[in-house]
Amino acid sequence: MRIGELARLAGVSTRAVRYYEQQGLISSRRSANGYREYDEADLRLVTEIRSLVTVGFTLRDARPFVECLRAGHETGGSCPESVAVYRRKLGEIDEQIRALLDRRAEVAAQLAEACPGCTLTREDPR
């Protein structure tokens, strides 16, 4: 299949596909006319990248997963490097959540000071 179909099936833009190639995440064969040619394995790679990016992974984070799939594993997450990224990401997310909870408390406190009673309108997100 060509880049348009690949992109449609994976739910990304053709620009994104070319960008992934530029970043070394995927590769491409070329047909006689110079068009990029892809197969099912490429589709799995792009789908993996997309699903990871959707939940907040960077392309750098996605690399171990892609390499894991390329190495022939069933899923991108079944290699130790991928598991390490999973664990690191969980830590980062936990830290972000903690920071946001702190910020929320800070902002709510400032609001309460500036306008007593205003705080009652929003509930605690926990």
Partner DNA sequence: CTTGACCTTGACGTTGACGTCAACATCTAC
Partner DNA sequence: GTAGATGTTGACGTCAACGTCAAGGTCAAG
Regarding 63 and contact with DNA (CB under 7 A), the answer is no
CA–CA distance, 61 with 88 (Å, rounded to integer) = 10
- What is the binding site for its own copies (CB under 8 A)? 55-56, 75, 77-78, 82-83, 86-87, 89-91, 93-94, 96-98, 100-101, 103-104, 106-108, 110-111, 113-115, 118, 121-122, 125-126
Which is closer to its own copies, CB of 33 or CB of 54?
Answer: 54
Chosen residue from 9, 53, 79, 111 binding DNA by CB under 7 A = 53
Q: In which element (H, E) is residue 107 found?
A: helix 80-114
Q: Which two tokens stand for residue 12?
A: 């990304």
- The amino acid that residue 93 corresponds to is I
Cβ contact 66:45 at 8 Å: yes
DSSP state, 36?
E
Three-state SS for 57?
coil
Could you say which residues in the range 20-49 bind DNA, by CB under 7 A? Answer: 28, 32-36
The footprint of DNA (CB under 7 A) covers 2-5, 12-16, 18-19, 28, 32-36, 53, 58-60
